[in-house]
Structure 1
Amino acid sequence: MNPHEDGLKRPVTGSLVKVLIHSRDDRGMVLEEYASRCVRREEIHELVTTDQHDPTPGAVVDRVGFLGFVEIAAGGVIDRGDEVRADGHLIGTVLGFDACHFPNHYNVLIAVDKTATGPDLGLTPEMEVRFG
């Protein structure tokens, strides 16, 4: 984040609506050029972990673990670098966004030390997810 451009914001919160259990080493997600995305109340977006940390627009992300889908509670802005927490526990930080399924949903890519899936982190439906 650029301290000369980014101001204070409220956290974006939501609830997990589906836990995902799979991972891939050949996913081919592509990082969008945008460092932030606005999200609306009741939108559903996919959470994806990766141990590939290159934030360059167009970077290909192959190693991924799928966490699940989150329903946004109130509109807000998710920024690259935001901490992502589930039930208060730190998962990682937002690396960026893949829009291969947009406008249905964004893939929110989360930088982690070791790629993980929903069950790896003990995620359950209705668990609170917080960005910020």
Structure 2
Amino acid sequence: MTVSESLPVHESVHKSVQEDGPKRTVRGTLVKVLVHRRDDRGMRLEPFASRCVRAGEVHELVTTDHHETEAGSRVDRVGFLGFVEIANAGVIDRGDEVWAGDRLVGTVLGFDSCHFPNHYNVLIRADAPRTGPELRLEPEVPIRFQQRLRPAPASAPS
């Protein structure tokens, strides 16, 4: 028996994950709300599609309407949401859904490391750059980075 045969995997989770395997949701708490936006920020996308985070780390949440995911892409139009304290270690991937309470904020576009090792800027793709107050964020709001479930591929005709 192989390891994969011995581990129970819910069928919907197994079918919904393509290249990546299932993972735990990364949870945290908003510790500071940010209120500003910029049209000339000059952030640069890191070449990494994922970042590992540890419990207790604090990272900045930044929204953008930028689409490009190529390493080094310049991201200018941004809205700052705030800082999140990570509650449990895990992996944040490009494409993960970002939730503030019960509200979907957007999906992870990538990461900017201009302030690293202090913190990462987690760039969140949204319809438009939004600030913390525009989303009615307050300290202690639960934040989660959740693997987006992709539809199962259509089965081939028999």
TM range (shorter): over 0.9
Whole-angstrom distance in 2 between the partners of 1:32 and 1:68? 20
One-letter amino acid of the counterpart of residue 18, structure 2 = P
TM-score normalised to structure 2 length: 0.81
Whole-angstrom distance in 1 between the partners of 2:119 and 2:128? 24
Question: 1:52-76 deviations in whole A, cap 9, x for unaligned?
Answer: 1111111000000000000000100
Structure 1 gap segments, 5+ residues each:
none
- Residue 102 (structure 1) aligns with: 116
- Residue 57 (structure 1) aligns with: 71
Whole-angstrom distance in 1 between the partners of 2:40 and 2:81? 17
Whole-angstrom distance in 1 between the partners of 2:67 and 2:81? 17
Structure having the larger proportion of residues in helix: 2
Q: After the TM superposition, which residues 38-117 of structure 1 pair with which residues of structure 2 at under 5 Å, given as runs?
A: 38-117=52-131
Q: Which secondary structure does the structure 2 equivalent of 1:120 belong to?
A: helix
Q: Which secondary structure does the structure 1 equivalent of 2:134 belong to?
A: helix
Structure whose CA Rg is larger: 2
Q: Which secondary structure does the structure 1 equivalent of 2:35 belong to?
A: coil
- Residue 3 (structure 1) aligns with: 18
Q: Which secondary structure does the structure 1 equivalent of 2:127 belong to?
A: coil
Give, in angstroms, the shift of residue 114 of structure 1: 1.1
One-letter amino acid of the counterpart of residue 50, structure 1 = T
Whole-angstrom distance in 2 between the partners of 1:3 and 1:106? 26
Give, in angstroms, the shift of residue 3 of structure 1: 2.1
1:128 to 120, 142, 150: 142
Whole-angstrom distance in 1 between the partners of 2:36 and 2:127? 17
Aligned-residue CA RMSD (Å)? 0.9
Matched, 1:26 2:71: no
- Residue 149 (structure 2) aligns with: none
Matched, 1:37 2:57: no
Tell which has more relative contact order, 1 or 2 (C-alpha 8 A, sep 6+): 1
The count of residues paired between Structure 1 and Structure 2 equals 130
Structure having the larger proportion of residues in strand: 1
